[in-house]
């Protein structure tokens, strides 16, 4: 069971969401991308973030003042 499926199964779950967010809207967003596609996108974003962190923390990189 995914976290979203668990959320949907809870009584009154929609009352816990931010105003303007509905279970139906979340379901539509969840259906727009497969689990595999979402995992691949997450891994690509994580790799970009880690690359940026690595470049920013590189002591050999000269920073302009």
pTM value is 0.56
Q: Token pair for residue 57?
A: 């923390």
Residue linked to tokens 């000269």:
62
- pLDDT at residue 5, as a whole number: 93
SS3 content of the chain, % helix, strand, coil (to 5): 65, 0, 35
The predicted-structure confidence for 3-55, as pLDDT tens digits, reads as follows 999 999 999 999 999 999 999 999 999 899 998 998 999 999 999 999 999 99
């Amino acid at each position: 069971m995914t976290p979203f499926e668990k959320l949907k199964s809870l009584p009154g779950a929609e009352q816990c969401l931010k105003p303007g967010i509905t279970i139906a809207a979340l379901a539509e967003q969840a259906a727009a991308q497969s689990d595999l596609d979402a995992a691949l996108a997450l891994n690509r974003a994580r790799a970009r973030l880690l690359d940026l962190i690595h470049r920013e923390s590189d002591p050999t990189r000269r920073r302009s003042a």
